[in-house]
Amino acid sequence: MADLVLFIGDKNLSSWSLRPWLLMKHAGIEFRERLIRLDRPETKAALADASPSLRVPCLLDDGLAIWDSLAICEYLAETFPDAKLWPEDRAARAVARSVSAEMHSSFAGLRTLWPMHFSREGMRHTTHGIEGDIARIAEIWENCRRDYGNGGEFLFGRFSIADAMFAPVVSRFVTYGPVALPERAARWRDAMWALPAMQEWGEGARAETR
């Protein structure tokens, strides 16, 4: 029986933390949450106690530390095979891994210009310089829904790590937007935004900023 502790940052700000948190909540994987407030005098010391990389998220499983959002998601997929956190079909799984890795390693312009502020809807901001990032993300969402989405309302049908990886972008596209999206991509964004676990994260984000 796993004894999992997930260290995360502020729910309003920590886009990387949202991913494994959402995955675990949605999949019904039990864990204890430890939230570290970022950008405070005590932050560095708290991170040093929590994570070898001095960054969140970090998952502790009975003394074993796993840091980095994608590595945590992979660890959870291995630890809880019955949760089927990756698509079962080999080709779909390869594409899901590709888009998850692309999300993990790309879109620096979008991250910089539109940092996540989960609780603040109605932020107006220029898209100048990030049109390419937005277009590529819209293309990924649309194509995944079109080619692999038949079995459910998520990118690969049933909820997978790929959905969790793009969850912070859903937040950005709502709060800085609305960003115009093709039909399938827009429906997926709406399904993600309405997800009970996403709503619960939003409650936490709003509580931090009240």
State the minimum distance, in angstroms, from the CB of residue 55 to ligand GSH.
3
* Structure tokens, 83: 């949760």
- Closest to ligand GSH by CB, 9 vs 157, is 9
Per-residue CA distances from 113 to 129, 136, 174, 196 (Å):
9, 16, 15, 28
Question: What is the rounded distance in angstroms from the CA atom of residue 54 to the CA atom of residue 63?
Answer: 17
State the minimum distance, in angstroms, from the CB of residue 72 to ligand GSH.
7
- Closest to ligand GSH by CB, 79 vs 143, is 79
Contact characters 109-148, ligand GSH, x per CB under 6 A: ----------------------------------------
Question: What is the rounded distance in angstroms from the CA atom of residue 50 to the CA atom of residue 76?
Answer: 19
- Closest to ligand GSH by CB, 137 vs 191, is 137
Among positions 4, 35, 57, 177, the unique one binding ligand GSH when judged by CB under 6 A: 57
State the minimum distance, in angstroms, from the CB of residue 158 to ligand GSH.
23
Q: From 107, 99, 103, 104, select the one nearest 148 (Cα to Cα).
A: 99
Question: What is the rounded distance in angstroms from the CA atom of residue 12 to the CA atom of residue 27?
Answer: 22
Phi, psi dihedral angles at 160 (to 5 degrees): -140, 180
For binding to ligand GSH (CB under 6 A), which residues are involved? 9, 14-17, 38, 43, 47, 55-57, 68-70
